[in-house]
Copies of this chain bind each other. A is one copy, B any other.
């Protein structure tokens, strides 16, 4: 598969400078691109790498249009353009439609004709798999779960009973949808399990990373709205709601009943308390703990700067004396006022 620059702009817009008949067959980084490949400059600060790149053509913004004399496509947003060109050269894998002979599909499950059920996958009673969806090898789709159309479940995904998953959803290997929330009532020194009878409901165009877990609701549902993107190893507790088009980086945990707004970004290894609400368009930094509701868009942080270890120890030990330091400063200020007064008398 290859395209000329002219063919690319015909499909995706933009403008060609230089030879529009230049033919490329893959996209690559500036440093690794070969002459039959197209590369891209998404950030002007890497402009100096253009000269050394063997790429046959570039994608760049209008501000960089003259930074190379090679054939190039000028795009309003070169990074988005790159994503589209990459999709052109790398269409999704076309799975073979049908149920693999080793898969176990319950007679009362309903599989669309052109869906693909992989080797050793299991689809339980009452489950429904929509048109064009791919259920990878070793996946288990629990009873009465609904998978929409054009979904892609990679190998070894587990979907518990009663989950509802929209269209064009991607679930990566090892992710678990619909496991029980951590619902316990203290009962005379023991823990009484609270049945988790809510569901997980996932909107269209959601992507969920490898080994991420999404717990079912205790009574009501856990909801991930359309277009949300979750990276790997994220934990979503019961009754959480993730707003539309919110992106969450890896290793983050969101505790029970937290409501996250739309168009938020949450950095890696953030932790969010339960029963709080985060407004739309909030950005939370990596390693930050959010302990109360955020009603205003903005960026919030609690991550500490690191130091060389011995330096760190010297400073960190003072953390335990901050209250006393604050009091001593106040005492000094008072005394100083007094001294000044005395001096002026």
The size of the chain A interface, using a CB distance under 8 A, is 128
Q: Are A173 and B173 in touch, CB under 8 angstroms?
A: no
* Contact pick for A193, options B100, B207, B329, CB 8 Å: B207
Q: Select from chain B the residue with minimum beta-carbon distance to A178.
A: B173
- A7 and B212 alpha carbons, distance in the complex (Å): 42
CB distance from A124 to the nearest CB of B (A): 7
* Copies of the chain in the assembly: 3
Q: Interface code A73-96, partner B: CB below 8 Å = 1, 0 otherwise?
A: 000010110111011011001000
Q: Are B232 and A215 in touch, CB under 8 angstroms?
A: yes
Q: Are B233 and A255 in touch, CB under 8 angstroms?
A: no
Q: Is A28 an interface residue (CB 8 A)?
A: yes
Question: Are A182 and B250 CB-contacts (below 8 A) given A191-B245, A195-B90, A300-B306?
Answer: yes
Residues on B with beta carbons closer than 8 Å to the beta carbon of A302: 303-307, 312
Q: Interface code A252-274, partner B: CB below 8 Å = 1, 0 otherwise?
A: 01010000000100001101010
CB distance from A79 to the nearest CB of B (A): 5
Q: Select from chain B the residue with minimum beta-carbon distance to A197.
A: B90
Q: Which of the listed residues A83, A291, A306 has the most CB atoms from chain B within 10 Å of its own CB?
A: A306
Q: Are B315 and A321 in touch, CB under 8 angstroms?
A: yes
* Contact pick for A232, options B118, B235, B303, CB 8 Å: B235
Q: Which of the listed residues A27, A180, A205 has the most CB atoms from chain B within 10 Å of its own CB?
A: A180
Q: Is A1 an interface residue (CB 8 A)?
A: no
Q: Are A305 and B319 in touch, CB under 8 angstroms?
A: yes
Q: Is A50 an interface residue (CB 8 A)?
A: no
Q: Select from chain B the residue with minimum beta-carbon distance to A269.
A: B271
7 new A-B contacts, CB < 8 A, other than A90-B195, A104-B119, are A137-B140, A158-B174, A174-B211, A249-B255, A283-B309, A300-B306, A336-B339
The 22 listed contacts between A and B (C-beta, < 8 Å) are: A29-B220, A77-B185, A80-B185, A80-B186, A82-B194, A104-B120, A119-B124, A142-B155, A154-B160, A193-B207, A210-B213, A215-B232, A253-B268, A283-B309, A291-B303, A298-B309, A300-B307, A301-B312, A302-B307, A322-B322, A325-B326, A332-B332
